[in-house]
């Protein structure tokens, strides 16, 4: 046997002995199951994929929510949609002494982008406004909020449910585009002729003209558009629609809880911080003030004493695509 072969055999023998020794040590040091400390082990929740059952891109409603889908006052779940609503103390987002703030946080997951839908009081090209409940009730949404008060101006870029209603940009407000995959795209004060009905080759299903953009790519813009009519430095009632991830959204609104003593409203930049901290990758400010509405299980969630809410011309809603077991 030559020297090289002998050295290889010696090396292999040493490795085998080392492995055997390590295994014996592990066996001797084995910790009984009852002695293991499991308190520091992180529990990972794996989200169950929701059923994708596309709804038509028109102004029809989704399927009525199933009664069995409501597990408590603020939670709904069926195979195509999950909604959880929470009222939270957000006083930390304002710095005025002896003042508090509260916000409603709505977490929404859907199985298909078509479940994010819009509707009008009469039509998106008619200047008319109805009580929120009158628009929402026939549609039986799982959850809904007010839109951008589409008929207030005769300018902007407005697409709803795939139909272009207005292309009259004047570079005065921000625009939110929602594509056929349900992804958000924001434009800061776009000029006329710079926006089309597609983005990155995907058809735009809904486009809103309000703003400002609160969060883009998970960050607050360095120079947020300053719309004076929003009274950005006042503690105002505000509402934003946010995308957290694919087919995952949040509606965030700073209105009071009827049973709470928290003061409503945040300054616009503090509201943006709240949206960012809630995981928004994109957040867009919609109409606020007395238009601000959250609607769930057939009623207004943010009802307040001595507050007369404004009629609205349009709403945004999330529909169920589950028809009792026949969704494909």
pLDDT for the residue 35: 59
pLDDT for the residue 3: 42
- Beta strand spans in 79-228 (E): 81-89, 102-110, 116-120, 143-146, 156-160, 163-168, 174-179, 184-187, 198-199, 202-210, 213-216
- Cβ-proximal residues to 155 (8 Å cutoff; 6+ apart), any chain: 166, 168, 169, 170, 172, 209
Cα dihedral sign, 198-199-202-203:
negative
pLDDT for the residue 186: 98
Residues in the chain, pLDDT under 50: 1-6, 8, 10, 16-17, 19-28, 44-45, 327-328
pLDDT for the residue 101: 92
pLDDT for the residue 23: 47
Please tell me the pTM assigned to this model: 0.84
- Percent of the chain residues topping a pLDDT of 70: 83
- Give the residue among 233, 246, 244, 231 at the shortest CA–CA distance from 289: 231
pLDDT for the residue 253: 96
Per-residue DSSP letter, 124: T
């Amino acid at each position: 046997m030559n020297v090289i072969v002998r050295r290889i055999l010696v090396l292999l023998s040493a490795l085998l002995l080392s492995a055997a020794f390590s295994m014996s040590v592990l066996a001797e040091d084995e910790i009984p199951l009852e002695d293991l400390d499991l308190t520091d082990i992180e529990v990972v929740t794996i989200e169950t994929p929701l059923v994708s059952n596309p709804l038509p891109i028109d102004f029809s409603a989704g399927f009525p929510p199933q009664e069995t889908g409501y597990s408590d006052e603020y939670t709904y779940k069926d195979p195509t949609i999950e909604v959880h609503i929470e009222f939270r103390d957000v006083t930390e987002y304002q710095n005025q002494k002896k003042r508090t703030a509260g916000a409603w946080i709505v977490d929404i997951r859907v199985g298909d982008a078509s479940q994010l839908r819009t509707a009008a009081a009469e039509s998106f090209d008619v200047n008319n406004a109805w009580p929120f409940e009158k628009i929402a009730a026939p549609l039986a949404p799982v959850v809904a909020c007010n839109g951008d008060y589409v008929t207030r101006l005769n300018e902007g870029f407005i697409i709803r449910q795939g139909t272009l209603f207005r292309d009259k940009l004047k570079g005065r407000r921000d625009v939110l585009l929602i594509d056929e995959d349900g992804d958000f795209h924001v434009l800061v004060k776009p000029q006329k002729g710079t926006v089309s009905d597609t983005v990155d080759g995907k058809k735009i299903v809904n486009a809103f003209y309000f703003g400002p953009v609160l969060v883009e790519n998970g960050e607050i813009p360095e120079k947020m558009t300053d719309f004076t009519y929003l009274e950005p430095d006042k503690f105002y009632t505000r509402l934003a629609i946010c995308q957290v991830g694919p087919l995952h959204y949040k509606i965030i609104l700073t209105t009071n809880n009827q049973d709470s003593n928290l003061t409503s409203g945040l300054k616009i930049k503090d509201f943006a911080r709240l949206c960012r901290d809630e995981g928004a990758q994109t957040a867009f400010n919609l109409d606020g003030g007395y238009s601000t509405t959250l609607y769930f299980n057939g009623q207004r969630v943010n009802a307040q004493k001595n507050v007369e809410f404004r009629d609205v011309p349009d709403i945004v809603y999330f529909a169920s695509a589950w028809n009792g077991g026949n969704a494909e």
